[in-house]
Structure 1
């Protein structure tokens, strides 16, 4: 996680924190373990959980890229 920026970057920083929290929750669901259980015991579809985690990681990468682009003087570093 990057350091907290000031000004307009606050929104991106807060979004990054929220998405990281969601990724942590998605990881904690351990869909690979649920997939080994009988379908009647599933509380969620493990495939949907994996898709959600992949989407969240993509969103996190996008937020981090936007943060990098919004920092003046750090391009190409």
Structure 2
């Protein structure tokens, strides 16, 4: 894994956040599907599983980007500032 300083700092921070979200999702699922009847479940186990699969996929993508020697965060080295707002995709 690359050093989490410099260009990969953004990826490292994102990996930590996604890892925490995954841990919370796993703990939450374990707590809510105990011996309760289905009518009292706060979370749908299928939805929780989809969330965990998605988070694992994001973690895998981050790990792949971190190991890529050609990765540069958006705007790095281009001399251009990063956009401060998301583009609008509304029709006029």
Same fold at TM > 0.5: yes
Deviation of residue 30 (structure 1)? 2.8
More helix by share: 1
Matched with 1:74 is none
1:1-77 alignment, distance < 5 Å: 4-30=3-29, 34=33, 37-70=36-69
Q: Structure 2 CA distance, aligned partners of 1:4 and 1:36?
A: 44
Tell me if structure 2 keeps the 8 A contact 1:9–1:67: yes
Deviation of residue 37 (structure 1)? 3.3
Deviation of residue 10 (structure 1)? 0.6
1:5-61 CA distance string (max 9 Å, x none): 211111000000001001101110235x61863222011111100110011001000
C-alpha root-mean-square deviation of aligned residues, in Å? 2.6
* Secondary structure of residue in 2 paired with 1:13: helix
* Secondary structure of residue in 2 paired with 1:10: helix
Normalization by structure 1: what TM-score?
0.75
Q: Structure 2 CA distance, aligned partners of 1:18 and 1:39?
A: 31
Q: How many residues align?
A: 71
Give the greater-gyration-radius structure (CA).
2
Normalization by structure 2: what TM-score?
0.64
5+ unaligned residues in a row in structure 1: which ranges?
72-77
